[in-house]
Amino acid sequence: MKSLADQSVTLLKGVGARSAEKLAKLGITTLQDVLFHLPLRYQDRTRVHPIGALRRGDQVVIEGEVDLAEVKFGRRRSLMVHLSDGTGSLFLRFFYFSNAQRQNLSRGVRLRCFGEVRSGPSSLEMVHPEYQRLSDDEPLMVEDTLTPVYPTTEGVHQLTLRGLIGQTLELLDRSPAALQELLPENLLQRFQLSSLLQAVCFLHRPPPDVDQQLLLAGEHPAQQRLAFEELLAHQISLLTVRAEHLRIKSTAFAEQNRLKQALLEALPFSLTEAQLRVVSEIEDDLAQSKPMQRLVQGDVGSGKTVVSALAALQAIGAGSQVALMAPTELLAEQHLNNFSQWLTPLGVEIAWLTGRLKGRAREQVLQRIESAEVQMVVGTQALFQDDVSFNDLGLVVIDEQHRFGVHQRLALREKGQQQNRTPHQLIMTATPIPRTLAMTAYADLDLSVIDGLPPGRKPVTTAVLSSSRRDEVVARVRAACAEGRQAYWVCTLIEESEVLQCQAAEETERLLAEALPELNIGLVHGRIKQDEKEQVMGQFKSGALDLLVATTVIEVGVDVPNASLMIIENPERLGLAQLHQLRGRVGRGSAESHCLLMYQSPLSQQAKQRLAILRETGDGFVIAQKDLEMRGPGEVLGTRQTGEMQLRIADLIRDQEMLDDVRDGAAMVIKQDPTAATALVKRWLGDRVDYGRV
């Protein structure tokens, strides 16, 4: 029995090369794809409704007799057909009609129509209904199931799709085994799931008494059955990647050493309870000879850096090397500063490697890395170029991971591998990842959460106001700086164009310099030369500058405790999580801090509500969850373009309650039936399955 997944859609009647191409745009290439192309909604053509009981918005079948048909010349010429059935009457309205059509719709003719009921000027109407003439000798049958309405695309008609799906269902009727059930019987029972065959057939041909609300919401058990299987396949894929990776060995590092002790003693603060907990989770991992894959989540300012420094020292103390990678040069530099400050006094050699380092200087650094003269390398992605080879890389730390995406994370894993050893991986992110995503897109990682801030932090007071109050805002900046505080002014633009964004920042700086002549103002954006950027940041950090005008380049990591005011222009153009990151640049010192979100009027009510979330909460998890609900997982993960976690049927928000079951189910399938596990991944992820080996 050939599986539907191995049969091309061109096997169906009426599908040639041309239409196959168009169907491919709907993601349909095999007969299995045809079956998984589910209806958006349904029409009820299973019974004839009395006209007297119709309500506006109903989509129904009616039958009646024509009392009158006439052409009206109003604003638009139209053919109006008055139809009644003894319970009531309505008009059929046609803007386009032929003479023949008009003559056919004469008084006394009986019609069956399907259409949407609208209210017209004098009574209810159906505009351009589908209709058929009824004759006494051959009674028309009604449908006995609901009629599916499928998502279509240009050149693929609704009726074509219905036809193709009809053909496929017939095929399935003759040989049901062509749609292989991949879920083991005991799993179906445990989670009370129907068979795949039942679920699919039901969704294409639901009985008239089905709860349509449930179907529309995607919450019918038949839909949930499919969503469950899809999420299960994703989960299995990530767990498989993880299991494969765990077969490779890493170096085990003793939990305690002299260097770690020395750093803890030298720190001007003691670690918070949350930090201590995460540090000990990492210690345990690093003491194993299987690779650590740990994601440390901690809100902005929660103190992730020092946690990673302790992890680094566990490896370095045992004679191994550590690489720390940040997404931007600015951040990498900041890490370099922190690590130098903490580790250099302990005798640790630190090198610096970014794309900017060229020629001889670069060669020297590479040589020192290879010969193990340096124990720690801080940099950007440049760390993982082909010509960089470590003597003995024991740990890779990746900061602000969400910017890299799953593919890059997995690619890095590969790069770090030497012979049959792989470095431990510690990933740090300030974007709180909602549980739903943690359990799906990150299922191959263990999770640690730093769920508290160091003592003494004050929440940032946030206000949302219109740009018409710009003068007041400028006055706030003046007042804050007069008190010896510092401020950020962040310019954003919706265009992806960096050039425009930088121009906007330059213009803003000019205007602010005019309005605030007494202040020292600096400017950083993506097109300012690195040396100059460093210089400006340095001046801001030392307090020589009062106000820093910047683009979103300062989004992550920058740490200037004396800055207590942040203005964000056009916040409506950014995601909530991103705004929360930006806002995290203030509130790092002892002063009351403020963030002013200055939107461009007019702003929709919905957009205002969205911004209000930031005013109401400083909890990054709540904010990320809202962001996820409003904008989808791609935005939150920063992988919108790569199409990761693109689901066909499941919806992470709608279906989040089944995730616990999905996780248990995935483990069950992998254990009981590895062949089915592989087949599931192939069915739902197809070629994308290979991302474990990019």
Residue 643 to residue 615: CA distance in whole angstroms: 32
Q: Look at residue 302 and give the partner it binds from Mg ion, ligand ADP, none, a contact being a CB closer than 5 to 8 Å depending on partner kind.
A: ligand ADP
- Report the residue number, 70 or 619, with the smaller CB distance to ligand ADP: 619
Q: Look at residue 64 and give the partner it binds from Mg ion, ligand ADP, none, a contact being a CB closer than 5 to 8 Å depending on partner kind.
A: none
Q: Look at residue 317 and give the partner it binds from Mg ion, ligand ADP, none, a contact being a CB closer than 5 to 8 Å depending on partner kind.
A: none
Nearby residues of 10 by Cβ (< 8 Å), 6 or more positions away: 16, 17, 20
- 585: nearest Cα among 491, 488, 519, 520: 488
Report the nearest approach of Mg ion to the CB of residue 290 (Å): 27
Report the nearest approach of Mg ion to the CB of residue 625 (Å): 21
Report the nearest approach of ligand ADP to the CB of residue 538 (Å): 16
Q: What is the largest distance, in Å, between two alpha-carbon atoms of the chain?
A: 101
Is 115 an interacting residue with respect to Mg ion (CB under 5 A)? no
- 304: nearest Cα among 409, 436, 432: 432
Residue 207 to residue 65: CA distance in whole angstroms: 29
- Report the residue number, 430 or 441, with the smaller CB distance to ligand ADP: 430
Q: Look at residue 416 and give the partner it binds from Mg ion, ligand ADP, none, a contact being a CB closer than 5 to 8 Å depending on partner kind.
A: none
Report the nearest approach of ligand ADP to the CB of residue 338 (Å): 7
Q: Look at residue 306 and give the partner it binds from Mg ion, ligand ADP, none, a contact being a CB closer than 5 to 8 Å depending on partner kind.
A: ligand ADP
**What sign has the CA pseudo-torsion 27, 33, 36, 40?**
positive
Q: x/- site string to ligand ADP, residues 493 to 532, per CB under 6 A?
A: ----------------------------------------
Report the nearest approach of ligand ADP to the CB of residue 217 (Å): 39
- Report the residue number, 275 or 508, with the smaller CB distance to ligand ADP: 275
- Angle, CA of 663, 239 and 451, to the nearest 5°: 70
Part in contact with ligand ADP (CB under 6 A); list of ranges 210-218, 267-275, 357-365, 366-374 = 267-275
Q: Output phi, psi for 611, to 5 deg.
A: -65, -30
Report the nearest approach of Mg ion to the CB of residue 557 (Å): 4
* Residue 493: C-alpha distances to residues 12, 164, 231, 500, 578 (Å): 49, 46, 36, 8, 14
Q: Look at residue 271 and give the partner it binds from ligand ADP, Mg ion, none, a contact being a CB closer than 5 to 8 Å depending on partner kind.
A: ligand ADP
- Report the residue number, 432 or 557, with the smaller CB distance to Mg ion: 557
- Report the residue number, 430 or 611, with the smaller CB distance to ligand ADP: 430
- Report the residue number, 116 or 559, with the smaller CB distance to ligand ADP: 559
Name which of residues 508 to 567 contact Mg ion (CB under 5 A). Answer: 557
- Report the residue number, 206 or 584, with the smaller CB distance to ligand ADP: 584
Q: Output phi, psi for 165, to 5 deg.
A: -70, -35
- Report the residue number, 64 or 557, with the smaller CB distance to Mg ion: 557
Residue, CB closest to ligand ADP: 303
* Residue 683: C-alpha distances to residues 5, 597, 675 (Å): 8, 46, 12
Q: Output phi, psi for 377, to 5 deg.
A: -125, 130
Q: Look at residue 575 and give the partner it binds from ligand ADP, Mg ion, none, a contact being a CB closer than 5 to 8 Å depending on partner kind.
A: none
The alpha carbon torsion through 11, 13, 16, 21 (nearest 10 deg) reads -70
- Report the residue number, 196 or 460, with the smaller CB distance to ligand ADP: 460
- Report the residue number, 300 or 439, with the smaller CB distance to ligand ADP: 300
Residue, CB closest to Mg ion: 557
- 83: nearest Cα among 56, 117, 59, 57: 117
- Report the residue number, 60 or 449, with the smaller CB distance to ligand ADP: 449
Name which of residues 557 to 576 contact ligand ADP (CB under 6 A). Answer: 559
Nearby residues of 516 by Cβ (< 8 Å), 6 or more positions away: 474, 477, 478, 481, 547
Residue 191 to residue 213: CA distance in whole angstroms: 23
- Report the residue number, 305 or 570, with the smaller CB distance to ligand ADP: 305
**193 within 8 A of 617, measured Cβ to Cβ:** no
Q: In what order do the strands lie in the sheet with 460-466?
A: 460-466, 593-599, 563-569, 486-490, 547-550, 521-524
Query: In the numeric block, which tokens belong to residue 35?
Result: 């079956």
Q: Which of 29, 272, 503, 562 touches ligand ADP (CB under 6 A)? A: 272
Part in contact with ligand ADP (CB under 6 A); list of ranges 59-67, 69-77, 257-265, 299-307 = 299-307
Report the nearest approach of ligand ADP to the CB of residue 415 (Å): 24
Q: x/- site string to ligand ADP, residues 300 to 329, per CB under 6 A?
A: xxxxxxx-----------------------
Over the Cα atoms of the chain, what is R_g? 32
Size of the site for Mg ion (CB under 5 A): 1
Q: Look at residue 298 and give the partner it binds from ligand ADP, Mg ion, none, a contact being a CB closer than 5 to 8 Å depending on partner kind.
A: ligand ADP
Is 275 an interacting residue with respect to ligand ADP (CB under 6 A)? yes
- Report the residue number, 36 or 339, with the smaller CB distance to ligand ADP: 339
- 567: nearest Cα among 619, 512, 631, 494: 512
DSSP 8-state code for residue 43: E
Residue 159 to residue 179: CA distance in whole angstroms: 24
- 620: nearest Cα among 453, 448, 395, 397: 453
Name which of residues 446 to 465 contact ligand ADP (CB under 6 A). Answer: 454
CB atoms inside a 10 Å sphere around CB 671: 10
**585 within 8 A of 554, measured Cβ to Cβ:** yes
Q: Which residues pair with 393 in a beta bridge?
A: 321
Report the nearest approach of ligand ADP to the CB of residue 544 (Å): 20
Nearby residues of 654 by Cβ (< 8 Å), 6 or more positions away: 217, 218, 219
Report the nearest approach of ligand ADP to the CB of residue 254 (Å): 24
Residues lying near ligand ADP in the complex (CB under 6 A) are found at 269, 271-272, 275, 298, 300-306, 430, 454, 559
Residues that bind Mg ion (CB under 5 A): 557
